[in-house]
Amino acid sequence: MPNIFLPRALDFIKANQNADGGWGYRPGGDSLVEPTGLCLLALMAGGEKAATAKGLDFLKACLKDSGAVGINPRDPEGSWMAYAALLAFDALGATDEERRLRDWILSFEDASSRFTPADIKAIATVYRFDASIRGWPWTPNTTGWVEPTALFIIALCRAGVPATEKRIKSGVDLILDRKVPSGGWNFGNPYSKSYELEASVMSTALALAALGAAGVTESYPAVDAGIRYLTRSLTGDVSTASLAWVLLALNCFPTGAALAPKVSSRLAGLQAADGGFRRNLFETALAFLVLSDAAILVRIPGKGR
Protein backbone atom coordinates (compact mmCIF):
# COMPACT_ATOMS: atom_id res chain seq x y z
CA MET A 1 0.00 0.00 0.00
CA PRO A 2 1.86 3.12 -1.15
CA ASN A 3 -0.32 5.56 0.74
CA ILE A 4 -1.26 5.38 4.37
CA PHE A 5 -4.41 7.39 3.64
CA LEU A 6 -5.62 4.92 1.04
CA PRO A 7 -7.79 2.93 3.47
CA ARG A 8 -9.89 6.06 3.81
CA ALA A 9 -11.04 5.33 0.29
CA LEU A 10 -12.86 2.34 1.73
CA ASP A 11 -14.55 4.56 4.30
CA PHE A 12 -15.66 6.85 1.46
CA ILE A 13 -17.06 3.87 -0.41
CA LYS A 14 -18.83 2.41 2.61
CA ALA A 15 -20.31 5.76 3.56
CA ASN A 16 -21.83 6.17 0.12
CA GLN A 17 -23.50 2.82 -0.40
CA ASN A 18 -27.12 3.23 -1.43
CA ALA A 19 -30.00 1.63 0.43
CA ASP A 20 -30.47 -0.87 -2.40
CA GLY A 21 -26.93 -2.13 -1.82
CA GLY A 22 -25.42 -0.61 -4.94
CA TRP A 23 -23.40 2.48 -5.71
CA GLY A 24 -23.79 5.27 -8.21
CA TYR A 25 -20.94 7.14 -9.86
CA ARG A 26 -21.43 9.99 -7.42
CA PRO A 27 -22.66 9.97 -3.83
CA GLY A 28 -26.43 9.73 -3.82
CA GLY A 29 -26.60 8.82 -7.50
CA ASP A 30 -28.66 5.90 -8.75
CA SER A 31 -27.03 2.51 -8.30
CA LEU A 32 -25.38 1.17 -11.43
CA VAL A 33 -23.51 -1.99 -12.27
CA GLU A 34 -20.10 -0.53 -13.08
CA PRO A 35 -19.52 1.46 -9.87
CA THR A 36 -21.14 -1.28 -7.81
CA GLY A 37 -18.90 -3.99 -9.26
CA LEU A 38 -15.75 -1.97 -8.65
CA CYS A 39 -16.78 -0.86 -5.14
CA LEU A 40 -17.43 -4.49 -4.21
CA LEU A 41 -13.98 -5.49 -5.45
CA ALA A 42 -12.41 -2.68 -3.46
CA LEU A 43 -14.21 -3.64 -0.27
CA MET A 44 -13.22 -7.24 -0.71
CA ALA A 45 -9.62 -6.32 -1.45
CA GLY A 46 -9.60 -4.11 1.63
CA GLY A 47 -10.70 -6.99 3.85
CA GLU A 48 -14.25 -5.69 4.22
CA LYS A 49 -16.00 -8.74 2.86
CA ALA A 50 -18.83 -8.50 5.39
CA ALA A 51 -19.82 -5.21 3.82
CA THR A 52 -20.23 -6.76 0.38
CA ALA A 53 -23.33 -8.93 0.85
CA LYS A 54 -25.92 -6.29 0.05
CA GLY A 55 -23.98 -5.01 -2.92
CA LEU A 56 -23.69 -8.50 -4.29
CA ASP A 57 -27.46 -8.88 -3.95
CA PHE A 58 -27.86 -5.73 -6.04
CA LEU A 59 -25.70 -7.18 -8.79
CA LYS A 60 -27.53 -10.50 -8.65
CA ALA A 61 -30.79 -8.61 -9.12
CA CYS A 62 -29.35 -7.22 -12.36
CA LEU A 63 -28.84 -10.71 -13.78
CA LYS A 64 -31.57 -11.57 -16.26
CA ASP A 65 -32.86 -15.03 -17.16
CA SER A 66 -30.74 -14.84 -20.28
CA GLY A 67 -27.65 -14.31 -18.16
CA ALA A 68 -27.33 -10.73 -19.37
CA VAL A 69 -26.56 -7.82 -17.11
CA GLY A 70 -27.59 -4.30 -18.08
CA ILE A 71 -26.66 -1.04 -16.45
CA ASN A 72 -29.12 -1.53 -13.57
CA PRO A 73 -31.95 -3.93 -12.65
CA ARG A 74 -34.45 -1.99 -14.78
CA ASP A 75 -32.38 -2.03 -17.94
CA PRO A 76 -34.27 -4.21 -20.44
CA GLU A 77 -31.12 -5.32 -22.23
CA GLY A 78 -27.55 -6.35 -21.53
CA SER A 79 -24.75 -3.85 -21.70
CA TRP A 80 -21.05 -3.14 -21.47
CA MET A 81 -21.27 -2.72 -17.69
CA ALA A 82 -21.58 -6.50 -17.42
CA TYR A 83 -17.78 -6.66 -17.32
CA ALA A 84 -17.81 -5.18 -13.80
CA ALA A 85 -20.43 -7.64 -12.62
CA LEU A 86 -18.35 -10.55 -13.92
CA LEU A 87 -15.30 -9.31 -12.02
CA ALA A 88 -17.36 -9.04 -8.84
CA PHE A 89 -19.13 -12.40 -9.22
CA ASP A 90 -15.75 -14.03 -9.78
CA ALA A 91 -14.02 -12.35 -6.85
CA LEU A 92 -16.89 -12.86 -4.44
CA GLY A 93 -17.45 -16.51 -5.32
CA ALA A 94 -20.91 -16.16 -6.86
CA THR A 95 -20.14 -19.11 -9.09
CA ASP A 96 -23.55 -19.78 -10.59
CA GLU A 97 -24.07 -16.13 -11.49
CA GLU A 98 -20.53 -15.92 -12.79
CA ARG A 99 -21.06 -18.90 -15.09
CA ARG A 100 -24.34 -17.58 -16.48
CA LEU A 101 -22.95 -14.11 -17.04
CA ARG A 102 -19.74 -15.42 -18.57
CA ASP A 103 -21.76 -17.47 -21.06
CA TRP A 104 -23.83 -14.44 -21.95
CA ILE A 105 -20.78 -12.24 -22.43
CA LEU A 106 -19.31 -14.84 -24.76
CA SER A 107 -22.51 -14.61 -26.81
CA PHE A 108 -22.87 -10.81 -26.59
CA GLU A 109 -22.74 -9.79 -30.23
CA ASP A 110 -21.45 -6.70 -31.92
CA ALA A 111 -22.47 -5.66 -35.43
CA SER A 112 -19.66 -7.39 -37.30
CA SER A 113 -22.02 -10.04 -38.66
CA ARG A 114 -24.38 -7.34 -39.97
CA PHE A 115 -21.85 -6.09 -42.48
CA THR A 116 -21.79 -7.44 -46.01
CA PRO A 117 -18.49 -7.84 -47.87
CA ALA A 118 -19.23 -4.56 -49.67
CA ASP A 119 -19.76 -2.78 -46.34
CA ILE A 120 -16.52 -4.16 -45.01
CA LYS A 121 -14.68 -2.96 -48.08
CA ALA A 122 -16.14 0.53 -47.78
CA ILE A 123 -15.23 0.74 -44.11
CA ALA A 124 -11.72 -0.44 -44.85
CA THR A 125 -11.38 2.36 -47.38
CA VAL A 126 -12.51 5.18 -45.10
CA TYR A 127 -11.48 4.06 -41.64
CA ARG A 128 -8.81 1.54 -42.57
CA PHE A 129 -9.81 -1.26 -40.25
CA ASP A 130 -11.34 -4.66 -40.67
CA ALA A 131 -15.02 -4.45 -39.67
CA SER A 132 -15.43 -8.20 -39.98
CA ILE A 133 -13.43 -8.80 -36.80
CA ARG A 134 -15.72 -9.59 -33.91
CA GLY A 135 -15.25 -7.63 -30.71
CA TRP A 136 -17.65 -6.29 -28.11
CA PRO A 137 -19.98 -3.30 -28.42
CA TRP A 138 -21.24 -0.92 -25.76
CA THR A 139 -24.82 -1.97 -26.45
CA PRO A 140 -26.20 -5.06 -28.20
CA ASN A 141 -25.75 -5.42 -31.95
CA THR A 142 -23.94 -2.15 -32.46
CA THR A 143 -20.37 -1.62 -33.58
CA GLY A 144 -17.54 -3.26 -31.67
CA TRP A 145 -15.11 -0.72 -30.21
CA VAL A 146 -11.75 -0.82 -28.52
CA GLU A 147 -12.82 0.04 -24.98
CA PRO A 148 -15.72 -2.38 -24.41
CA THR A 149 -13.70 -5.10 -26.13
CA ALA A 150 -10.81 -4.43 -23.76
CA LEU A 151 -13.04 -4.35 -20.68
CA PHE A 152 -14.61 -7.70 -21.53
CA ILE A 153 -11.25 -9.31 -22.26
CA ILE A 154 -9.90 -8.06 -18.93
CA ALA A 155 -12.91 -9.44 -17.05
CA LEU A 156 -13.06 -12.77 -18.89
CA CYS A 157 -9.35 -13.43 -18.41
CA ARG A 158 -9.61 -12.45 -14.75
CA ALA A 159 -12.50 -14.91 -14.40
CA GLY A 160 -10.31 -17.67 -15.74
CA VAL A 161 -11.44 -17.93 -19.34
CA PRO A 162 -8.37 -18.96 -21.31
CA ALA A 163 -6.92 -16.45 -23.75
CA THR A 164 -7.25 -19.13 -26.42
CA GLU A 165 -11.04 -18.85 -26.27
CA LYS A 166 -12.18 -17.75 -29.72
CA ARG A 167 -14.04 -14.59 -28.64
CA ILE A 168 -11.03 -13.41 -26.66
CA LYS A 169 -8.72 -14.17 -29.57
CA SER A 170 -10.99 -12.26 -31.88
CA GLY A 171 -11.16 -9.37 -29.43
CA VAL A 172 -7.37 -9.27 -29.31
CA ASP A 173 -7.34 -9.21 -33.11
CA LEU A 174 -9.77 -6.29 -33.11
CA ILE A 175 -7.63 -4.31 -30.69
CA LEU A 176 -4.48 -4.95 -32.69
CA ASP A 177 -6.26 -4.06 -35.91
CA ARG A 178 -7.52 -0.73 -34.54
CA LYS A 179 -4.16 0.61 -33.36
CA VAL A 180 -3.31 4.17 -34.33
CA PRO A 181 -0.28 4.03 -36.65
CA SER A 182 1.78 6.50 -34.64
CA GLY A 183 1.21 4.55 -31.44
CA GLY A 184 -1.61 3.86 -29.01
CA TRP A 185 -5.35 3.56 -29.46
CA ASN A 186 -8.39 5.78 -29.54
CA PHE A 187 -12.03 4.72 -29.22
CA GLY A 188 -11.65 2.67 -32.36
CA ASN A 189 -11.07 4.63 -35.55
CA PRO A 190 -7.41 4.76 -36.56
CA TYR A 191 -8.26 6.87 -39.59
CA SER A 192 -11.05 8.92 -41.05
CA LYS A 193 -10.47 9.26 -44.77
CA SER A 194 -6.91 10.52 -45.10
CA TYR A 195 -6.66 11.75 -41.52
CA GLU A 196 -4.93 9.68 -38.88
CA LEU A 197 -6.91 10.12 -35.70
CA GLU A 198 -5.14 10.78 -32.43
CA ALA A 199 -4.70 8.19 -29.73
CA SER A 200 -6.06 8.82 -26.24
CA VAL A 201 -4.62 7.82 -22.89
CA MET A 202 -7.69 6.01 -21.55
CA SER A 203 -8.26 3.94 -24.69
CA THR A 204 -4.58 3.08 -24.94
CA ALA A 205 -4.35 2.02 -21.30
CA LEU A 206 -7.42 -0.19 -21.59
CA ALA A 207 -6.20 -1.76 -24.82
CA LEU A 208 -2.80 -2.52 -23.32
CA ALA A 209 -4.28 -3.99 -20.14
CA ALA A 210 -6.47 -6.29 -22.23
CA LEU A 211 -3.59 -7.35 -24.44
CA GLY A 212 -1.46 -8.00 -21.37
CA ALA A 213 -4.20 -10.04 -19.76
CA ALA A 214 -4.50 -12.12 -22.91
CA GLY A 215 -0.78 -12.81 -22.95
CA VAL A 216 0.28 -10.49 -25.76
CA THR A 217 3.80 -9.40 -24.93
CA GLU A 218 5.94 -6.32 -25.46
CA SER A 219 7.55 -8.01 -28.41
CA TYR A 220 4.46 -7.01 -30.41
CA PRO A 221 5.20 -3.64 -32.03
CA ALA A 222 1.73 -2.35 -31.20
CA VAL A 223 2.28 -3.04 -27.51
CA ASP A 224 5.69 -1.43 -27.52
CA ALA A 225 4.34 1.62 -29.37
CA GLY A 226 1.42 1.81 -26.96
CA ILE A 227 3.67 1.82 -23.91
CA ARG A 228 5.81 4.50 -25.49
CA TYR A 229 2.69 6.55 -26.22
CA LEU A 230 1.64 6.28 -22.58
CA THR A 231 5.11 7.21 -21.39
CA ARG A 232 5.01 10.34 -23.53
CA SER A 233 1.50 11.20 -22.41
CA LEU A 234 2.42 10.97 -18.76
CA THR A 235 4.40 14.16 -19.11
CA GLY A 236 1.14 16.02 -19.69
CA ASP A 237 -2.35 16.37 -18.29
CA VAL A 238 -3.83 12.97 -17.41
CA SER A 239 -7.17 12.49 -15.70
CA THR A 240 -7.73 10.46 -12.56
CA ALA A 241 -9.46 7.56 -14.29
CA SER A 242 -6.92 7.48 -17.08
CA LEU A 243 -4.06 7.48 -14.61
CA ALA A 244 -5.61 4.50 -12.85
CA TRP A 245 -6.08 2.58 -16.08
CA VAL A 246 -2.50 3.47 -17.07
CA LEU A 247 -1.24 1.99 -13.82
CA LEU A 248 -3.20 -1.17 -14.51
CA ALA A 249 -1.76 -1.40 -18.02
CA LEU A 250 1.82 -0.76 -16.95
CA ASN A 251 1.62 -3.58 -14.44
CA CYS A 252 0.96 -6.01 -17.27
CA PHE A 253 4.36 -5.55 -18.92
CA PRO A 254 7.93 -5.62 -17.56
CA THR A 255 8.88 -2.28 -19.17
CA GLY A 256 5.72 -0.71 -17.90
CA ALA A 257 6.10 -2.07 -14.39
CA ALA A 258 9.29 -0.06 -14.04
CA LEU A 259 7.26 3.12 -14.57
CA ALA A 260 4.52 2.08 -12.18
CA PRO A 261 5.88 3.51 -8.89
CA LYS A 262 5.92 7.05 -10.27
CA VAL A 263 2.40 6.69 -11.59
CA SER A 264 1.27 5.21 -8.27
CA SER A 265 2.56 8.22 -6.40
CA ARG A 266 0.93 10.61 -8.82
CA LEU A 267 -2.42 8.83 -8.58
CA ALA A 268 -2.27 8.53 -4.80
CA GLY A 269 -1.62 12.25 -4.63
CA LEU A 270 -5.03 12.90 -6.18
CA GLN A 271 -6.90 11.45 -3.23
CA ALA A 272 -9.07 14.05 -1.55
CA ALA A 273 -9.40 14.68 2.16
CA ASP A 274 -12.68 12.78 2.26
CA GLY A 275 -10.88 9.65 1.09
CA GLY A 276 -12.42 9.71 -2.36
CA PHE A 277 -11.08 10.57 -5.76
CA ARG A 278 -13.06 13.41 -7.40
CA ARG A 279 -16.05 12.35 -5.28
CA ASN A 280 -16.60 9.64 -7.84
CA LEU A 281 -17.22 6.18 -6.43
CA PHE A 282 -16.14 4.31 -9.54
CA GLU A 283 -12.89 6.26 -9.75
CA THR A 284 -12.29 5.86 -6.02
CA ALA A 285 -12.74 2.11 -6.21
CA LEU A 286 -10.62 1.86 -9.35
CA ALA A 287 -7.82 3.91 -7.82
CA PHE A 288 -7.94 1.90 -4.62
CA LEU A 289 -7.71 -1.36 -6.56
CA VAL A 290 -4.84 -0.41 -8.83
CA LEU A 291 -2.93 1.15 -5.95
CA SER A 292 -3.51 -1.88 -3.73
CA ASP A 293 -3.08 -4.78 -6.09
CA ALA A 294 -3.67 -4.51 -9.83
CA ALA A 295 -3.95 -8.29 -10.03
CA ILE A 296 -7.41 -8.08 -8.50
CA LEU A 297 -8.59 -6.49 -11.72
CA VAL A 298 -6.39 -7.94 -14.39
CA ARG A 299 -4.76 -11.28 -14.92
CA ILE A 300 -1.06 -10.55 -15.01
CA PRO A 301 0.68 -13.41 -16.78
CA GLY A 302 3.08 -15.14 -14.43
CA LYS A 303 1.48 -13.68 -11.32
CA GLY A 304 -1.27 -15.02 -9.11
CA ARG A 305 -4.30 -13.08 -8.04
Partner 1 sequence: MTKRSMTRREAVRVLGTSALSALPAVALSGGQPQLVKGPASGTLLQVALIPCPDYGSENLTAAIQAGWRSSRPPDVRGKRVVIKPNIADFSEERPIHTDPRLVESLILHLKKLQAREIILAEGPPHNRDTEWLFRKSGFEALAKRQSVPLVDLNYDDMSPVKCINPRATLLKELYLPRTILSADVVISVPKMKTHRHAGITLSMKNMFGILPGMKYGWPKNTLHWNGIPLSICEINGTLKTHFSIIDGVVGMEGYGPLLGTARKAGVLVMGDNALSVDATAARVMGIDPARVEYLAMAHRIKLGSLRREDIAVAGEKIEKARADFVLDPEYAFLRAPKG
97 vs 110 by CB, closer to partner 1: 110
User: Rounded to 5 degrees, what angle do the CA atoms 136, 204, 5 make?
Assistant: 105
Q: Is 107 in the site for partner 1 (CB under 8 A)?
A: no
* Alpha-carbon distance values, 186 to 165, 207, 283 (Å): 25, 9, 20
The answer to whether the beta carbons of residues 133 and 65 sit under 8 Å apart is no
If you write DSSP's letter for every residue of 153-212 in order, what string do you get?
Answer: HHHHHHTT--TTSHHHHHHHHHHHHT--TTSS--SS-SEETTEEPPP-HHHHHHHHHHHH
Backbone CA torsion sign across 227, 244, 98, 66: negative
Q: Which of 187, 220, 272, 293 binds partner 1 (CB under 8 A)?
A: 187
Q: Is 30 in the site for partner 1 (CB under 8 A)?
A: yes
What is the C-alpha separation between 27 and 287, in angstroms, rounded?
17
| Shortest CB 304 distance to partner 1, Å | 31
Q: Is 12 in the site for partner 1 (CB under 8 A)?
A: no
* Helix, strand, or coil (residue 23): strand
Q: Is 71 in the site for partner 1 (CB under 8 A)?
A: yes
Closest CA to 108 of 75, 76, 83, 71: 83
52 vs 204 by CB, closer to partner 1: 204
Q: Is 81 in the site for partner 1 (CB under 8 A)?
A: yes
Q: Near partner 1 by CB under 8 A, which window of 37-45, 59-67, 108-116, 217-225?
A: 108-116
Q: Near partner 1 by CB under 8 A, which window of 5-13, 29-37, 92-100, 165-173?
A: 29-37
| Residues engaged in binding partner 1 (CB under 8 A) | 24-26, 29-30, 32, 34, 71, 75, 79-81, 109, 111, 113-116, 118-120, 122-123, 126-127, 131, 137-139, 141-143, 145, 147-148, 186-187, 189, 192-193, 195, 197, 200-202, 237-242, 278
